[in-house]
Amino acid sequence: MKKALLLFIICFLLFPNSTFAHTGLVSSSPSEGEVLTVSPEEIVLEFNTKVEQGSQFQVINPSGNGVAVTGISVEDNMLYGMFPQELQGGDYQILWNIIGADGHPIEGEISFTVESEQEKTSNEESNQIINKDEQSIEEDPVVVEMERANPPAIMSTIAVILAILAIVSFFYVIRKGKIQ
């Protein structure tokens, strides 16, 4: 058993975690959380393996509707698409669903923000104030107490049932031994 354990450890040391079994997003443009000052012209999603044909994405605008995207195409591990129109200011989401090389459909989302002309000017003016605000947020994080019914009331019932089963089984085994 000791030898097995040793082999176990050696194997674990020999093969560091470097590979992933399923396809995932490596990088994107725009990237997650990016704030753009100009409307993006295209979207590029890069994955860690080849993605199959039929992989696609949607872009959702601040009011929750789909944005027109043209020329969605797949090339090896890249997924491309273009915006025919300029995007208005606001928060956008890219919802991607792809089929990885191993046939697993995988989906995810990326949020990015396009600043409108107004925001841009006001941001420049109030940059200092924002910085101050950010600092104060970091200094005293808002602690939200989550209300939890833990453990759920049913747990005590389960515990009692299991305890009764344990006692019954115990006497069963004891009697079994006496009979034979």
Partner 1 sequence: MIIYLISELLLYLSFAILAGTFIIAIVPNEKKPTISIHKRWLQLSILGIVLFSAMPVVQIVEYLYQGVGLSLTLTNVINNFEVGRAWTLILILSIFYYLLISVFPVQQKKSYAVLALVFLFILILAVGWASHAASLTEWSGFAFHTTHFTAVSVWIGVLFIVSWFSKDTKNWNALLKWYSPLAIVCFILTMISGFYMMSLVVDLTDYTNSWLLDYGQALLIKHLFIIPLLVFAFFNGMWMKCRLNQNPQFNPKPWVRGESLLLLFIFSATAFLGQSSPPHEIESTIKTNGVSALFQFFYGGTIAGVSQVQFSLTTFSFVFMLLAAIFLALLIYSFRKKAPAIFAFFMSFLSVLSIYLSFMTSF
Token look-up 């600043």 returns 115
CB of 10 to partner 1, least distance (A): 10
**Binding characters for partner 1, 109-148, by CB under 8 A (x = yes):** x----------------------------------x-xxx
Cα 145 to Cα 141: distance, rounded to the nearest angstrom: 12
- What is the size of the binding site for partner 1 (CB under 8 A)? 53
Residue 19 binds partner 1, judged by CB under 8 A: yes
Please provide the DSSP assignment of 91-158 as one string: EEEEEEEEEBTTS-EEEEEEEEEE--HHHHHHHHHTHHHHHHHHHHHHHSPPP-PPP---S-THHHHH
Which stretch in 33-41, 118-126, 128-136, 150-158 sits in contact with partner 1 by CB under 8 A? 150-158
Strand, helix or coil at 83?
coil
Residue 17 binds partner 1, judged by CB under 8 A: yes
Residue 53 binds partner 1, judged by CB under 8 A: yes
CB of 39 to partner 1, least distance (A): 26
Residue 169 binds partner 1, judged by CB under 8 A: yes
Are the C-beta atoms of 57 and 95 separated by less than 8 Å? Answer: yes
State the helix-helix crossing angle for 117-125 and 127-139, rounded to 10 degrees. 70
Q: Does residue 42 come out as left (phi exceeding 0), alpha (psi in the -120 to 50 range) or beta? A: beta
CB of 46 to partner 1, least distance (A): 15
Residues 6+ apart with CB under 8 A from 132: none
Residue 158 binds partner 1, judged by CB under 8 A: yes
Nearer to partner 1, 3 or 65 (CB): 3
Residues that bind partner 1 (CB under 8 A): 4, 7-8, 11-12, 15, 17, 19-24, 49-50, 52-54, 99-109, 144, 146-152, 155-156, 158-159, 162-163, 165-166, 169-170, 172-174, 176-177, 180
